Amino acid sequence: MPEPKRRGRPKTTGTTPPLNIRVPQDVQDAAREAAKKRGERFAVVVTRLLAEYAREGQ
C-alpha cells in the first residue's frame, strides 16, 4: 500500500537550522522585494550575505 502524502514542510536534514533575528520591517520588505525582482529566495540571499560577511572578517 502506498505511503500517504504528508502535509507541511519537509523535515530538514539538520544542516541548516532555523535562525531567528530581528530586522526592521522596512529593511526586510525592501530586501524581500529586491530578492523577488532578481528571482532569488530571500533565505538564499540572507545566507549568501552572511557567508560573505563571515569571510570578510577572517
Sorted by where each begins, the domain ranges of the chain are 25-56
The string of pLDDT tens digits covering residues 4-58 is 777 776 666 668 888 999 999 999 999 999 999 999 999 999 999 999 999 998 8
C-alpha span between 36 and 30 (Å, rounded) = 10
What was the pLDDT predicted at 10? 65
3-state secondary structure of 31: helix
Residue 3 CB coordination number (10 Å)? 5
What was the pLDDT predicted at 42? 95
CA atoms within 13 A on the CB side of 26: 0
Residue with cell 524581500: 32
Q: Which of 48, 19, 14, 17 is nearest to 31 (CA)?
A: 48
pTM of the model: 0.68
